[in-house]
Structure 1
Amino acid sequence: MEETLSTEERILRIMRRVLTRIAKDTAVPAGSLHPLSDETILEMRECLTLIAARERELAEAAGRPKKERPRFIDEPQGEVVIPLEKTGLKKD
């Protein structure tokens, strides 16, 4: 199913992608001096938080709540239904 995104949603998606790529491209080994200032890193995090919040608002307003979250490879994708039967239950 192809979803139709508004211009604002496309801008937010691209901005999120660019900011995360900048973070990945400038990552340094532990203990090394980072090329970005602490203030810049903090502001990038704040931008990503605001982008995620706005994406969630737009998706909910359009009737398609976002369900994006990290998942393990072996994690079940759907809901698990456990049937409950009366047999085997104690009667008082």
Structure 2
Amino acid sequence: MSEEHFSTEKRVLMAMRKTLAKIIRDLTPSDSALRYPLSDETVEDVKKCFDLISARERELAQAAGIDVRDRPHFVDEPRTTNVVPIQGLKTKD
């Protein structure tokens, strides 16, 4: 598959995920006393859709060589690694 196909498919998946999330957010009653408008079967189907979207996004990321476990880091977040410059090391004679 071409890079353009991956890009288009990735955009489609993102749009579908965001649209589904917005629909669920709009349909969720703000008052807990109100009845949820979707049936249990529909809720399960939406969850399955989210699972399929996530699985395909992981496949696309792996095909592109992206580690899906990578997470963003804050600039002021403490580092968990310490880089030591090789130039400062001396050999034993």
Task: Structure 1: give runs of 5+ residues left out of the alignment.
Answer: 83-92
1:8 aligns with 2:9: yes
1:19 aligns with 2:20: yes
Conserved? CA contact 1:9–1:55, under 8 Å: yes
Q: Give the number of equivalent residue pairs.
A: 76
Give the TM-score normalised by the residue count of structure 2.
Answer: 0.65
Deviations 1:27-51 (A, max 9, x none): 1132421111111111001100110
Q: 2:64 aligns with which of 62, 73, 83?
A: 62
Cα shift at 1:79:
4.6
Structure-1 residue corresponding to 2:48:
46
Cα shift at 1:66:
2.9
Q: What is the RMSD of the two structures over their aligned residues, measured on CA atoms?
A: 2.9
Structure-1 residue corresponding to 2:89:
none
Structure-2 residue corresponding to 1:81:
81
Structure-2 residue corresponding to 1:86:
none
Cα shift at 1:68:
6.9
Task: Structure 2: give runs of 5+ residues left out of the alignment.
Answer: 83-93
Conserved? CA contact 1:26–1:35, under 8 Å: yes
Cα shift at 1:16:
0.2
Among the aligned pairs, what percent are the same residue?
41
Q: Distance in 2 between matches of 1:51 and 1:79?
A: 32
Change in 2 beyond 3 A, CA 1:68/1:51: farther
The structure that has the greater radius of gyration is 2
Which residue type is aligned with residue 16 of structure 1? R
Q: Distance in 2 between matches of 1:68 and 1:19?
A: 25
